[in-house]
Structure formats: C-alpha cells, structure tokens
Structure 1
Amino acid sequence: MTALLSLDNVYAGYGHSRVLHGMSLHVNAGEFVTLLGRNGMGKSTTVKCMVGLLRAQSGTLHLDGRDITRSASHQIARSGIGLVPEGRQIFPNLSVEENLLATARVPKATRSPWNLARVYELFPRLQERRSNPGTRLSGGEQQMLAIGRALMTNPRLLILDEATEGLAPLVRRDIWQALAMLKQTGLAILCIDKNLTPMLPLADRHYIVEKGRVAWQGTSEDYLAQQQALQPYLGL
C-alpha cells in the first residue's frame, strides 16, 4: 500500500545549521499519527519540509506516490495537505467567517466537502463569533479557527503543530473531541503535542524524534509497554 505521505532519509536545516539528519516516516490514509519529542529535536522543521516551507537538502518526500520534494508550499496545499501552524497565525484583521472563506477550496469529486456549515457544526463557538475579528478571540477560539481554516481547504491530511499548546484544560478537551470526530470521517491526521495522554487512544502510531531523526516508533500499546524507557526522549 502506498503511503499518503512519506519522508525518506530527509536532511534539512537553516543556513549552515542542520536540524534533520535522515528523517524517515510515513502516514497512511485515515491514520492518526503523532510526532513526539523534546523541544528542538526537529518536529516543527519536519512539518515545514512536509508543507514546502523549508526545502529538504537531501532525501525525498512523496504525497500519494507523487514526488513533492521540490514543490512549492501552495502546490502542496492544493495537493491535499492542510496545516494548523504553531502559534495559529490567523488573519487578525479578518472576521472569523472571512478567515474561513479566505482558504475555502473544494477539489473535484470531493464527497461531503468542508464548508462553513460543517465547520460551525464542529465548532459551534465559531458560529457564535463569526463576525468577530481575530484579535477578539480567545486562544482556544483562535485554535478552533485555525483548524477550521485548514479544513476549509478540504485536505486529505491535516497536520497540527502543537495542537493544544497554552490552552485551558476544558478547551483542550474540546480540541481532542473534535480531532476524534475528524478521525472518524477518515481524515488522516499528523499531530504534534506535548499532551500525550489524550492522544494515546486516538493514535494509530507514534514517532519519537531525537536530534533530527526517528529514535522510536510504535503503537500506543507499544508505548505503554516501554513507557519508562521512553520518558527521557520526551523530557518527562
């Protein structure tokens, strides 16, 4: 079976500083996969390579079997990857609804496409605040908006870089519930987050990153069986 997204022996960095040292991983259609590790180990750099914001120095990236190693970020987005970036990066001077419509895209032959009605059903709070500018939203509402904005591109793979960072416990619960619902729709998800416990029942597989390469991979059951030995990799 061809992976939906795959990285093979990817090296990348910034200027003379190399961050990724042979990163290899894959996400299959419909899977929930996590990318774990301490700060500075290369998780966000991996995501930037996946979405074309950083060019791999060597190695290859494939999306549904097609080589995207040299593709521009807008081409990768159109190919079916939606990004919820670290820090949310919503458009502050646009309203909630304008933020959502700004990225709206429905590929041909898309069944049950994501639109305003579906996003508002997933996050009713956004509908209540649909006329509010981004600057008047709480952190949790901004994260919901960032997820909704990515869904409006109708992606095949949703990538979340720090899915619940800095959010209150009740808001984090709402985000995890939403991601569980998204998984049920068959959407593939790659998630970075420091809160591992709520991801264990959701995730099909986990990757732990150490110094720019995969140090461990396995299922949630595998992780629980080796939890004590793996804690140093996670800073726990």
Structure 2
Amino acid sequence: MMPYDMSPLFLSLKVAAISTFFVFFVSIALARLMSRREFVGKSAVDALILLPLVLPPTVIGFGLIVLFGANGPIGSLLEDWFGFRVVFTWVGAAIASFVVSLPLMYQSVMAAFEKVDPRWENVARTMGVSEWRVFRTITFPLAWPGILAGLILAFARGIGEFGATLMIAGYIPEVTETVPLAIYFAYEAGQMEKAAFWVIVISAVGIAAITWVNYWRKKTAVRIGRE
C-alpha cells in the first residue's frame, strides 16, 4: 500500500503525456520548416520558439494567463463559444508543460534533421517521389534517434514543470496537483516526509529518462560506427 495518495503522479504523467503528444507533431513541423527553408525573419522565428528556455517560469505563466484567462483572447473565446475554461484546470497544466517542453524537443529534432544529408532526399525527388514520401521513408527514419531523444527529454521536462503550472492551473488537490506542486505545498505545510517522498519519485523518473537517452545515444553511436 502506497504511503500517500498517488494522484499527483498520475496527473503529472497524464499532463506530460498529452503535452508531449502535441509537442511531437508541432516540433517536427517547425524543425522541418526551419531546417530546409530560408525566409525573411527566420532568425526571429527561431528565437521565439526557443524563448521559453531563457524566460523565468513566472513570465511564461503570466503570458499564458493573459492568453487563456477569462479576459484573454483565447480564454474568452473558449469560454463564450464552448463553455470551456483553461485556468485552474489540468488542461492549463498541460498547456504550460507544452510551452516549456517544445524548445527542448525542437532543438533535438532540428539537430537531427540537419544531420540528414539532403542528397539522399534530392535523389528521391529526381525519381519522382513525393515530398511526403521523401520525409516518411528517408528523413524521418534517419532522424529518428534524435527525435526519440527529444521526446524523452520533453516528457521529463513536462513532468517537472512547476512555475508556469502554478500560475495558470493553481493548486487544487486531486485536480491540478502535479508532483512539483505536491512537493512545494507539502514543504510549506511542514510535511517534510511527504515532500521527500515526492522528491524521490520525480528524481527517479528524471534519472530513468536521462539514463535511457544516454543509453540510446551510445547504442546509436556504436551502430553507426559499425556501419
């Protein structure tokens, strides 16, 4: 029997999984565009995508509240048209997780796409292969190790998100209480054993993710070296 209610862990896994799902598709689309196209303002777009890496979590949280709050352009639209509220819900936590995880995944996918030799893609194009098939059969498989590493890092980052999540989702036990929030409020309440328990849990998840990424990279390097 677990010593504490495990709902914070389950919610963290749920939030991280959903945010990583969307991060996967968005980062691939952005990285594909940025790695293969030149256009005016490309550097500005790249900087905007990576901005959450350098911004304090409170700034990200404030920006999300401005956008998704009751008076925000997106929040008011969702509430008026669909009766759906983002602030103080687990959806808000998922959005915060998405925003902070996207730059990590984007960087990893971008580096993976840039390592793919464009000559392989051009050969396929000269044979009349469609762009979608070139991407599906050549680019994506060759870039897959970097994409997978980015996925793991994005998932781990999503689980550990705290500042932006607290601002947009708040702290509502069993509703928006993720593991980082459980640690903080257990500490504030003087429940050191509970805080230590969740620290061990989230540290184990992070160590497992990093270990797996390192193992995969070494395995991939060995395979490439043999080839």
Larger strand proportion of the pair: 1
TM-score of the aligned structures, taking structure 1 as reference length: 0.29
Larger helix proportion of the pair: 2
Which has the greater radius of gyration?
Answer: 2
